[in-house]
Amino acid sequence: MSSGKGGVGKSVIAATLALILRRRGHRVGLLDLDLTSPATHLILGVEGLQPEEERGIIPPLAHGLSYMSIVFYAVDEPAPLRGADVSNAIIELMAITRWGELDYLVIDMPPGISDATLDMIRLTKGLSFLVVTTPSRVAFETVRKLLALLRDLEVPVIGVVENMVMKPSSRIRAQVEILGDTYLGSVTFDPRLEEALGDVERLMGTRFAKTLTQVASEAERRIM
């Protein structure tokens, strides 16, 4: 889950998509790689979880998801990691985590085309990107840059999700298709999403989650 842009809904989409895939019977991991502002533990309402250490780290289960987050290791550290420290933290996390057999590993990426993004591209085999935008021209301009970079680096893109849609428009779809990428669908702006965060049953009952379900099917179809 990535976007050139911050605040477009990557974290809520990553967490909810992981839950949707889990409820379809897949073995799913969720990795929160936002080193400066991890959020998926709040969205899933799983504060206080700790991984088990046994020849590496075994991710704890959170609502059926194998869940890893940088918060397990950087609790209450106000200073964001920078430069080489980011790379080292990611390398270490990827190396020591024992995911076991998974069908999907959903990764919530930090905003922007950061060192973390480039490290993950460099270090991870079989990575593909699901890119989140909003209908905003400002958001899409940054997303356009990310899509161009992914194309240059020959990293597979599953497609683009348009989030926080308030009125139907085919503008973003058209722009995505001009770039030769796949438009996976749109997710409505849901004023009830905020109050559902932290409560997975409520979250899965929102209109947000319902419209994301269609996007998930399209993404799964593309991955098969």
Q: Which pair of tokens denotes residue 16?
A: 């909810």
Q: Hey, which residues between 34 and 53 contact ligand ATP (CB under 6 A)?
A: 34, 37, 39
Measured CA to CA, the distance from residue 162 to residue 131 in angstroms comes to 9
Q: Which pair of tokens denotes residue 149?
A: 């970079």
Is residue 113 part of the contact set for ligand ATP (CB under 6 A)?
A: no
Which listed residue (7, 56, 80, 205) binds ligand ATP by CB under 6 A?
7
DSSP assignment letter at 55: S
Residue-wise DSSP of 192-209: THHHHTT-HHHHHTSHHH
CB nearer to ligand ATP: give 3 or 97: 3
164 binds, among ligand ATP, Mg ion, none (CB under 5 to 8 A by kind): ligand ATP
**Residue 106 contacts residue 16 (beta carbons within 8 Å):** no
Which listed residue (2, 3, 11, 117) binds Mg ion by CB under 5 A?
11
Per rule CB under 6 A, count of chain residues that contact ligand ATP: 21
Is residue 8 part of the contact set for ligand ATP (CB under 6 A)?
A: yes
| H or E element in which residue 145 lies | helix 137-152
Is residue 214 part of the contact set for ligand ATP (CB under 6 A)?
A: no
Query: Where do we find the tokens 């930090």?
Result: 110
CB nearer to ligand ATP: give 24 or 207: 207
Is residue 186 part of the contact set for Mg ion (CB under 5 A)?
A: no
Name the segment binding Mg ion (CB under 5 A); options: 33-41, 69-77, 177-185, 209-217: 33-41
Q: Strand, coil or helix: what is 68?
A: strand
Q: Which pair of tokens denotes residue 37?
A: 């502002």
Q: Hey, which residues between 187 and 206 contact ligand ATP (CB under 6 A)?
A: 187, 189-190, 193-194, 197
Angle at which helix 171-178 crosses helix 137-152, to 10 degrees, equals 20
| H or E element in which residue 178 lies | helix 171-178
CB nearer to Mg ion: give 21 or 39: 39
Binding site for ligand ATP (CB under 6 A): 3, 6-12, 34, 37, 39, 111, 163-164, 187, 189-190, 193-194, 197, 208
